[in-house]
Amino acid sequence: MLPIAGIVFVLCFSIISIPNSLMMAFIIGTCMVILGITFFTLGTDLGMTPIGVNVGASITRSRKLWLIILVSFLVGVFITVAEPDLQVLAKQVPNIPGNVLIGAVALGTGFFLTIAMLRILFRVPIRYLLLGFYAVIFILAAFVPIDFLSIAIDSGGVATGPMVVPFIMALGVGVASIRTDAGAEADSFGLVALCTIGPILAVLILGLVFRTEGSTYTPVAIPQIEFSRDLWTLFMSEIPVYMGEVAFALLPIIVFFGLFQIFRLRLHGRELGRIAIGLVYTYIGLTLFLTGVNVGFMPVGDYIGRLIGELPYNWIIIPIGMVMGFFIVAAEPTVPVLARQVVEMTAGAIPKRALSISLSIGVAIAVGLSMLRILVGVPILWIFVPGYILALSLSFFVPPLFTAIAFDSGSVASGPMTATFLLALAIGLCTATGGEATVDAFGVVAFVTMTPPITIQILGLYYKLKTRETSNNLNIKDRIQSIVRKLRPSVKTGKRG
């Protein structure tokens, strides 16, 4: 978090000026985000991950296809309905009822989680599923109203937020753990990537049914704070709101796990205690994180975007946004969950540092493209379609494990920090330059989902070439040693070889 705070401080002390009250709200929000990520990560290790692994292993061990399909669908629907990021998106589409939009996204996630689980069981290569489903997305996108298109594409990244990702990833590990073949570890990744497609398709279809006529975005409210007690009141009034939202988000998971524990799992007391403590940590962490981001970060992001957009050299937002994008990945609460799982499942073959740098570069490029698109007015499909064509093309040249991890990474990177701070920054810039938020500003989440699959697969291509070079060197070394062994008898007897 410190690099993000440092960038904001440098901007506010150099090229722009923001009110001191807003700066203090940002500082408090930063502290809350740091504490929130700490508790959330610990809670995920103790609670969310064991629940997902145990449930996934249990339904797979049963060998009942109907049970796997039913549980996968229900898990996808219940968790997505409670996803906090989705609630934010639903409020920005006034011409479609919020409950209808959330329901469509939830059904899309549930359906595609079922497909993802069946893919693991039947060992279907993920690249073919991605290729087919994204082709359908490109076709549907040509018929959706332009003021709804960016929101529809963003919905995939928003739906796979901090509540959905840890549970789904752990579910995949549990299902794959029952298989004993060599490709089981690679197939445990890819669930999040496929679950990102479901909401996009569902919302695109919804956009064809509900014709929008100029959806308007509700601007971020800039708090007016005069005294220190007002600042304290601002945060204290919002904490109960997010406590309720997070409780609503965790309740379906707790109920679902409770029923599974009674009828199938029957875990021992000590393990149940660890899971309960983990859920408490998750609750505390996510409450602090969402409060800090929404109260302390969103207004600052919107304000900075507006001020830079009004500058005569507003193009400076492109490199500034890229630097923010590079460092903001570390502040996404689910990125450490993915990185840790990748290191564990690959036994360190994919270093955490290489994965993190590739992910940061991808997000930096995404934010730069988003800011450029706002300033120039480039249609979103001009970047979205070629980007995914490149990402899907790379999947035929890298190991399948890298493809699954790459597309998962894009979905994981587009978390609440992107959906709040970066999106607010883009909307502030769009407002200052006279653009339309629903057309020009929305799409930053989609770009953040799109670019990491390209950069991480390039890492996979390098890894593949490096492995091949090492293998060739070892083969040459083996040949030399074989020749030396054949020559040794001749040398000992004095004969010429």
For the segment 314-338, the average pLDDT, to the nearest whole number, is 88
Cβ-contact 460, 189 below 8 angstroms: no
pLDDT of 344 reads 75
pLDDT of 485 reads 61
Coil, helix or strand for 497? coil
> Lowest-pLDDT range, 140-144, 174-178, 458-462?
174-178
Q: What is the pTM of this model?
A: 0.83
Q: Which residue has the higher pLDDT, 146 or 368?
A: 368
For residue range 380-430, list pLDDT tens digits in order: 999 999 999 999 999 999 888 888 889 998 888 887 788 778 888 998 999
DSSP 251-284: HHHHHHHHHHIIIII---HHHHHHHHHHHHHHHH
For the segment 108-132, the average pLDDT, to the nearest whole number, is 90
In whole angstroms, what is the distance from residue 302 CA to residue 91 CA? 17
pLDDT of 88 reads 66
Q: Which residue has the tokens 């496929």?
A: 194
Cβ-contact 308, 316 below 8 angstroms: yes
In whole angstroms, what is the distance from residue 72 CA to residue 415 CA? 22
The band of 363, judged by pLDDT with boundaries at 50, 70 and 90, is very high
Mean of pLDDT over the chain: 84
Tell me which amino acid residue 155 is. Answer: S
Please state, for a pLDDT cut of 90, what percent of the chain lies above it: 29
Please state the domain extents for the chain. Answer: 2-493
The band of 491, judged by pLDDT with boundaries at 50, 70 and 90, is very low
pLDDT surpassing 50 at residue 24: yes
Q: C-alpha distances in angstroms, 322 versus 17, 105, 173, 241? A: 21, 29, 33, 32
Tokens in use for 240?
């109960």
pLDDT of 55 reads 86
pLDDT surpassing 80 at residue 483: no
